[in-house]
Amino acid sequence: MTEPLLELVGINKSFGPVHVLHDVDFTVRAGEVTALVGDNGAGKSTLVKCVAGIYPTESGEIRFRGEPVTIHSPKDAADLGIEVVYQDLALADNLDVVQNMFLGRERGSRWLMDESSMERAARETLASLAVRTVKSVRTPVAALSGGQRQTVAIAKAVLWESKVVLLDEPTAALGVAQTRQVLDLVRRLAENGLGVVLISHNMADVFEVADRISTLYLGRLVADLPAKETTHSQVVELITAGRSGDLGLARPEQVTL
């Protein structure tokens, strides 16, 4: 087992009266794919957004390479080398593919951006993801299909020399070939020593690429298990009931909102 790269300890997060994350402990290791699974509304996206600096947390600690860090803004996360593919994509419709991929981190000087270098890098990254249907990298994102947008969002995240990549349901809108590419990419990123978090509802995908499977149940992290020693049905039980045999929550009464 490798060193923890990113560690969340005792994270709590509420939206007003709704307590969405309860004392969540979550670990991402370098060179491993950690799958984060859970039912709709379990709090997976919220957890990702806390790491990304989009939502502040109420309590808990985030450690990066063992050091406690504060992530107050998306920029803090990016500076640490944390990249996120959001479930709701977060692309600007009126900008083209290249402009979106480099948004906030444009190459060249502040007074004169280096368009050629950005365009070439964008195209190479997209080519590696086998996007065959985009007519031009200068197409506005508004004109792309859902799957194409998703690929652009993924390409945007892997463009950078990052340490941790969090992908929130990256294959939800993708076709067979693109899903294959993304799963291969996820493995490749881990083999290159990155810590990868994959959120997915597709158990086949999860078991194919994940080294560890962490299950969120109603905002609590109920289990963090090695994928090899876990069965499909155990995970499904953990997702739906929060427990499976002696795994997960000890007693059902503990689950209060």
Partner 1 sequence: MTDSPARTDTGANSGAISDFGIDTTSQSAGEAIRDYVARVRGGELGSLPALLGLGVLVLVFTMLSDNFLTLNNTANLIAQGAGKMIIAMGLVFVLLLGEIDLSAGTLSGVCASVMAMHYVRGGNLLGGMGSTVFYVFIIGMVLAAALALVMRIWAGAVLSLVAVLMAALGVPANAWLEMVLAVCVGAAIGCITGFMVAKVGVPSFVVTLALFITWQGVILQFIGEGGVFGIRNSQVLFNVANGNLSVLGSWILCVVAAGGYAAVVLGEHFTRLRKGLVTQPTLIALFKVLAVAAIAGLSTWALTVNRSPNPDLVTIQGVPYVVPIILGLLVIGTYVLNRTRYGRHIYAVGGNAEAARRAGIDVSKIRASVFVVSACAAAIGAIVYSSKAGSVDPQAGGLNTLLFAVGAAVIGGTSLFGGRGKVAHAVIGGLVLAAVENGLGLLRQPAAVVNIVTGLVLLLAATVDALSRRRAAVTTR
Tell me how far, at minimum, the Cβ of 63 lies from partner 1, in Å.
22
Copy the structure tokens of residue 64.
């990066």
C-alpha 208, offset from chain centre: 17
Q: Smallest Cα–Cα separation from 181: which of 145, 133, 140? A: 133
Span near partner 1 by CB under 8 A; candidates 15-23, 27-35, 91-99, 224-232: 91-99
- Pairing assessment for the beta strands 67-69 and 212-217 based on DSSP bridges: unpaired
Taking the C-alpha atoms of residue 188 and residue 165, their distance in angstroms, rounded to an integer, is: 12
Encoded one letter per residue, x for contact with partner 1 by CB under 8 A and - for no contact, window 28-67 reads ------------------------x-x-------------
Contact status: 87 vs Mg ion (CB under 5 A): yes
Site string for ligand ATP, 38-77 (x = CB under 6 A): x-xxxxxxx-------------------------------
The residue whose two tokens read 């289990």 is: 223
- C-beta of residue 234 within 8 angstroms of C-beta of residue 244: yes
Q: Which two tokens stand for residue 139?
A: 């197409």
Closest CB 19 distance from ligand ATP, rounded Å: 9
Q: Which of 228, 249, 220, 168 is nearest to 32 (CA)?
A: 228
Q: Which stretch binds ligand ATP (CB under 6 A): 15-23, 113-121, 133-141, 150-158?
A: 15-23
Nearer to Mg ion, 57 or 125 (CB): 57
Of the candidate spans 36-44, 57-65, 174-182, 243-251, the one that interacts with ligand ATP by CB under 6 A turns out to be: 36-44
Q: Answer yes or no: are the C-beta atoms of 60 and 9 closer than 8 Å.
A: yes
- Alpha-carbon distance of 240 to 197, in angstroms, equals 21
Which residue of 86, 167, 171, 219 would you call a contact of partner 1, by CB under 8 A? 86
Q: Which residues of the chain form contacts with partner 1 (CB under 8 A)? A: 52, 54, 73-75, 78, 84, 86, 89-95, 99-100, 103-106, 110-113, 115-116, 119-120, 123-124, 126-128, 130-138, 142-146
